[in-house]
Amino acid sequence: MINSMLKELKIPSPLEVGDRRVQTVKEWEELRPLVLKTMLESEYGYLPEEPKDLRFSITVNENNRFCASKAIYLTVEASCTVNGEKFSFPFSYVYPSRGEKFKTFVVINFRPDIPDKYIPTEEIVDNGFGCASFCYKDVTSDDGDFSNGLAGLIYKDSGRSEYSCGKIAMWAWAAMRVMDFLQTRDEVDKENICVAGHSRLGKTALLTAAADTRFSLAHSNCAGCSGDSLNRGKTEGNEFIGDILDRFDYWFCENYKNFRNRDSETPFEQHFLHALIAPRRVHVSSALEDIWAGPNLQFLCCAAASEVYELYGKKGFVFNDSDFLKPKYLHEGSIGLCTREGTHYFSRDDWHGLIDFMNK
């Protein structure tokens, strides 16, 4: 059933270039930069350049009380030079106080709060994980103003071209700077770092891992249109590219506007992001009442990406047709899906699914 649905939708494959189909990992690795370039030029814009003079300073160190002394809590300031000017943003870092290496989450969040309604910090620590998080608005505002924060430095001397970065690419850049910090920490299991986000920040998490291979896993939570949901196959009640551009065109590059009202004609598809992360892992959380995000299209997006993982001899998205739109964990492959009851939210159920998948 699922495979026939994908065939009916005529989903483009990241493995196909013209009339030629990639057959080996070597061929895919050679093609991969072109696929990433396609996604950047078509949708998100080129990422900002790597910063100069990057350094980190710890401004708060609570090492004996946080989470009833189970965790160490740091507030860190990342400082660097961008386009010749100084830029900085804060983030929080919490990790278990017992001495060993920990799998770690980088959470791009809507607020700086620790804990937060989307980040159950103590529960994360109790499960043996560290968690670094930052508020996306501390990087640049979530609106069409390109004169503040990181955006103000990138565009201080020029306007936006058709491929210039939108806000999602800027938030992804910031997540990579948090990764830079984690690379300096002895307690971090550097082979197991997951970038995670909800909704627009789930889109950001996927782009982050697609562009930065240091992340072992990307978690997108109810990311939907222009994130973890296919463009093709949308029906009434789903979010279309035109809908998202009407309200949030500044998240994307200017070129993305060319695909307004062309959801079924895009030369790329959202599972290209999943494919770019291969052979590393992807986890998606989908809410059955979040019709705007298209839970059916999130499922199909996971299934469409499997072919790239299979090139590596890995299982991609493992499912039975009877699993379609059923609340359950599908965690046996390199692409995992947590389908739950409820609406658009980063819930404890989503975290439990992510932790279960991270521990596989």
Integer Cα distance of 332 and 164 in angstroms? 38
Give the pLDDT mean for 335-344.
Answer: 98
Integer Cα distance of 263 and 260 in angstroms? 7
Integer Cα distance of 145 and 141 in angstroms? 7
207: domain CATH number is 3.40.50.1820
The rounded mean pLDDT for the chain is 97
The count of domains in the chain is 1
User: Residue 203's domain spans which residues?
Assistant: 2-358
Selected residue with higher pLDDT from 59 and 152: 152
Torsion of CA 139, 140, 142, 147, to 10 degrees: 180
**Interval 241-260: pLDDT, tens:** 999 999 999 999 999 999 99
Which residue type occupies 346?
F
Confidence of residue 63 (pLDDT cuts 50, 70, 90): confident
CA distances (Å), origin 106, targets 36, 74, 259: 22, 14, 31
- Give the position of tokens 């968690």: 131
CA distances (Å), origin 22, targets 86, 257, 305, 344: 44, 30, 14, 37
Tokens standing for 61?
């160190």
- Helix (H) or strand (E) segment spanning residue 345: none
The DSSP line for 114-180 is SSBTTB-HHHHHHTTEEEEEEEGGGTS-SSS--SSHHHHHHTSSS---TTS--HHHHHHHHHHHHHH
Q: Looking at the predicted structure, is the pLDDT value of residue 61 above 90?
A: no
Give the pLDDT mean for 142-151.
Answer: 98
Q: Looking at the predicted structure, is the pLDDT value of residue 1 above 80?
A: yes
Q: Looking at the predicted structure, is the pLDDT value of residue 103 above 80?
A: yes
Integer Cα distance of 226 and 166 in angstroms? 13
| Predicted local confidence at residue 19, as pLDDT | 81
**Interval 201-243: pLDDT, tens:** 999 999 999 999 999 999 999 999 999 999 999 999 999 999 9
Q: Looking at the predicted structure, is the pLDDT value of residue 158 above 90?
A: no
Length of the chain: 360
Cβ neighbours for 221, distance < 8 A, ≥ 6 positions apart: 196, 197, 198, 199, 202, 284, 285, 346, 350
DSSP character at residue 43: I
**Interval 277-326: pLDDT, tens:** 999 999 999 999 999 999 999 999 999 999 999 999 999 999 999 999 99
Cβ neighbours for 256, distance < 8 A, ≥ 6 positions apart: 42, 43, 44, 166, 226, 241, 245, 249
Integer Cα distance of 324 and 330 in angstroms? 10
Report pTM.
0.98
Tokens standing for 128?
């043996």
| Predicted local confidence at residue 64, as pLDDT | 72
